[in-house]
Amino acid sequence: MPSIDTPDLPDPLDVIAVGAHPDDVEIGCGGALAKLVEQGHRVGIVDLTDGEPTPASPGPEARLAEAAEAARRLGVHERITLDLPNRRLMDDFDARVALAKVFRRFRPRLVIGISDRTPLASPDHWQARQITDAGVFYSRLTKWDDRFDGLPPHRISAQLYYPLSFYSLEAPLDGNYFVVDIGSTLEKKMASIRAYATQFPPEKQEIFAKVTAMAQRFGFAAGYEAGEVLSSPRALGVTDLMGLVFGAGPRPS
């Protein structure tokens, strides 16, 4: 079998967050991403579809321009839109490989994806969860170079999930959940969501109150001004118990 040349690779990303559509990531974990950027990490977003068609959008170009502006407001370094079908997104082999190629190309340490089904909302979200899980696994597989355009295998060290449901009072599907302090980046999160003017016209402005209220609820529960819930498929451990309980600030005298 002929050898496959390894393509030139861009600078790696530390974190990639995956959504089914533009605006999923912003709503689910935009504050955490903005905070990671502020802390010096290289962050990317992958939208599995362009989100089109949607009722109020004039077309894909408008939605892609909104997504680019939202990414700019968060400060993320890369935004990639895959050519998978909105409303017909399915967890199949081609979708898994398409996402795994992105992971192999940008080599993240951490991947953040959608956590669960969203009843009364798009079924694409659950498909995105499964595609993301498979993409993380496919990214590290060896002896399959021809499937991935010669991109070398890459093992992703950690995976987290963000919820998108506004209606459930239950804990996240995966358990092992925690709250990220986004008090300093809540405004950036909300600004990134407002970039989607075609998705949130005047009759849908309640989205901003809902997202703000959820962030405040999660934050207050953990002692922050605002927060986002993330969950881990692995149990979470700690080596600095006092740092976990009291934060990383200086020890009081």
Domain segments of the chain: what residues? 15-246
> Above 50 in pLDDT, residue 2?
no
107: buried, middle or exposed (CB in 10 Å: 19+, 13-18, 0-12)?
buried
- Identify the pLDDT of residue 251: 66
- Identify the pLDDT of residue 1: 42
Higher pLDDT, 243 or 129: 129
- Identify the pLDDT of residue 39: 97
Name the amino acid, one letter, at 12: P
Mean pLDDT within 108-133: 96
16-70 per-position pLDDT tens digit: 999 999 999 999 999 999 999 999 999 999 999 999 998 888 889 999 999 999 9
**Is the peptide bond preceding residue 123 cis, with omega within 30 degrees of 0?**
no
Residue 243 — φ and ψ, nearest 5°?
-65, -40
- Identify the pLDDT of residue 237: 93
- Identify the pLDDT of residue 252: 63
- Identify the pLDDT of residue 5: 63
Mean pLDDT within 187-202: 96
Angle between helices 186-194 and 24-38 (to 10 degrees): 140
The closest of 65, 62, 61, 114 to 91, measured between CA atoms, is 114
> CA 15: distance to chain centroid?
9
> Above 70 in pLDDT, residue 7?
yes
Contact, 99 vs 158, CB < 8 A? no
Mean pLDDT within 157-176: 86
Under CATH, to which class is 15-246 assigned? alpha beta
